[in-house]
Every structure is written in structure tokens, then in C-alpha cells.
Amino acid sequence: MSFDPAPWTDTKKTARLVLDDGTVISGVGLGATGSAPGEVCFNTAMTGYQEILTDPSYAGQIITFTFPHIGNIGANAEDTETSNLASRSGVRGCVLRAEITGPSNYRAAQNFDAWLKARGIIAISGVDTRALTARIRDKGMPNAVIAHEPSGEFDIEKLRAEAKAWPGLLGLDLVPDVTSGQSYTWDETRWVWDKGYGRNEAPEFHVVAIDYGLKRNILRCLASAGCKVTVVPATTKAADILDRKPDGVFLSNGPGDPAATGEYAVPEIRKLVDSGLPVFGICLGHQMLGLALGATTRKMHQGHHGANHPVKDFTTNKVEITSMNHGFTVDRETLPKGVVETHVSLFDNTNCGLELEGRPVFSVQYHPEASPGPQDSHYLFTRFVNKMRERQGVPLKSER
């Protein structure tokens, strides 16, 4: 398997990706300089690289983009998904096939290389990303160190040792790196062509969203569904959440091992479930809800990262194309009695959704808010609102 740089790239090799098995991949450095360890995954989305690189769920990871042309539409302030503006997303770096070109889009406000520098993200271009993706598919997601040094001089043995010594994501709680440090409210709604983002000026329900690494578009989807949203830090106690008298509670996406974060989050989630309030979880929130209900989670071989994943919704018997980003999964064989599997991946049959019988509690593994990705699953935010409507005896809205 060859990892030679792209044949058209004759620029000085100023970057290295060093895998934990000792493999050294050379390329042209972009973005920030320095080095950073992380787990290498691949993402198959063809659009939305800025949203991907600012998704807090990618904390601790180095993203290999399978689509070759990344950066060609530049970057802007609107497409950032990190909801906690005081922190960066936590992504360690990115691996690209082609060199970054000048931006060609009317919304571009900054060159992608400059944007990477500003966010402290190291990039390497000129890499055979198909070969690297095949390696991940066959052997799993490796730990690695990505390094960018303008001189092109590296201490390879030191980088190899660092890659081998990095502990990996199993057992790692990364939520403290991306959660908000204080509570705040949110009323911005989804983006509309030629209008931009709007405001929810007449909210129908109050939702408390626990921030394990929230994406902005989740908050926008909740606001667009008629919710006033109060965001609280990941360590907020259930009693403090209930004191705010919400109509529903949202468990957000986020990075790392759900079992590690669950040590302090799961007991509070159990209390929220027991309160009788509607509860909706996405991604890490789904995994920790599964743990709270008695299931277990496990690390995946290559994970799911992309915007083209088919999922079967057993509640509607329809297939939807979804956006995914996760390296852990709820073990469907461990779902206890009373916890129903509602969604399943049509790629590998892993669990993608659950609900608690007799309670207004449900979750999905994928990202119904997309950004990037298809909007097939936006109906789930209406489903969440309908749980609150049903509890208050208000007529339900159509999910489609």
C-alpha cells in the first residue's frame, strides 16, 4: 500500500503524519505549525468541510477527507458549528489529497489555509487519501501524530514514540475540553436562502440542552421547532436543570468515550428520565442515554463519519440518508427489556436509535440537524416537540 504524495505535488515536504505502527506519510504542510496527537478517521462527505472541522464531536481526532478538493470555497463566520465560542472544536488536524486553492464562492470571507491557522488546526496535503482510507477500513482507526514544520526537518523517532504513547479515545473523557463554562440562552433559527439566520420570537416550549459538545445547528433546529433553549454545562446536576422548570431536556452530541463521560453524566440522566419530562438525545447523548437505561457501549472498528449514511426508521418504515460522526456505538445486543430499537444503520446493522416504552424518551445515534448533510431527519425535532405537546395535552404537529 503506497502513501506517496500526489504526483503533481513537487513542493517541499513540510508535513508528516506518523502512525502508531511506525508508518510515516509525507506531504505539504498547511494551517498551523507544530504537532498534535490524535485518532485518524475518514469522512466521506463531499461538502461542509468547515462544519466538520468545527464539530466538537471530532475532538481528539485527525480527519482524512476522502473528497479530494477541500478548501476551494474558502471559509466564513456563519458556517462554524462550535456552539461554545470560548473554545475551539478540539479537532487535532486534517489530511487532504489536493493542495488548497484560492476560494471560489460568494460567501467566502477567508482563505481556508488562513482559517486553519487562525483555529490552530494542522493540515497535510498531497497525501494518497484513498490508500489511507483503505488502511483504516482494513486495520481500524490508528493513533497518530500530525506535524507541520516549514523547514521540513522532523525528529521522526520522537514523533513515532509520541504516536505510540498516545492513549487513544477509549476511556477518554473529552467533554470538559468542549463544553460551555456557563449557561446561556439561544433563539437563532435555521439559515434561509437570501435571508440568513432568523430569530424565534414566540417560543412555545422551554428546553434545557446539556452541552456535551453542542453543534450550533442543533440549537437552531430546536429554535426553529418552537423552543426557547437554555444551554447548560455538561456537569450540571439534574436538580438544577429541573429547577429551571423546562418542558423537555436535550442531551447533546460530543466527543470521546461515552462510558468515561457517563461516570458523572449518566446518574444525572437517569434522574431526568425518572422526572417524566420528554428527553431527546443525539450522538454522545444517545450513547449515554443508552447507558442510563441499562445498555452498554463499545468502540467501533472504523466508526461512521460522513453525510451519506442510510438509516432505517422502524417507527415509519422509511429509509433516510443521514449525517454521522461517531466512533462508539450502543451495543444493540445489550438493550434491556422496555428499551426499543427504533433506528438501525443499513451499512453495518449497528444501533442508530432507541426509545423507552411508556415514556417520552428517545434518541438517535446520527445527526438529524445535518450541517453538513441531508435534511431527511429534521422531523425528529418535531417529534421531540410533539412529546412536549402530548404531555401538555396540546394537538400534535405533523412530522413531515
Instruction: Write down the catalytic residue from 286, 304, 309, 367.
Output: 367
**What one-character DSSP code corresponds to residue 21?**
T
Bridge partners of 93?
A: 62, 122
Instruction: Write down the catalytic residue from 94, 283, 326, 343.
Output: 283
Name 167's Cβ contacts closer than 8 Å, sequence gap at least 6.
none
Rounded to 5 degrees, φ, ψ at 56 are -60, -20
* Catalytic residue status for 367: yes
* Catalytic residue status for 227: no
Instruction: Write down the catalytic residue from 99, 268, 320, 369.
Output: 369
Strands (E), 76-163: 93-95, 122-125, 143-148
Cell of 396: 400534535
Q: What's the gap between Cα 265 and its chain centre?
A: 18
C-alpha dist (Å) from residue 259 to 47, 94, 163, 172, 209: 31, 26, 24, 9, 20
DSSP string, 342-389: EEEETTT--EEEEEETTSSEEEESSBTT-SSS--TTTHHHHHHHHHHH
Which residues form the catalytic set? 283, 367, 369
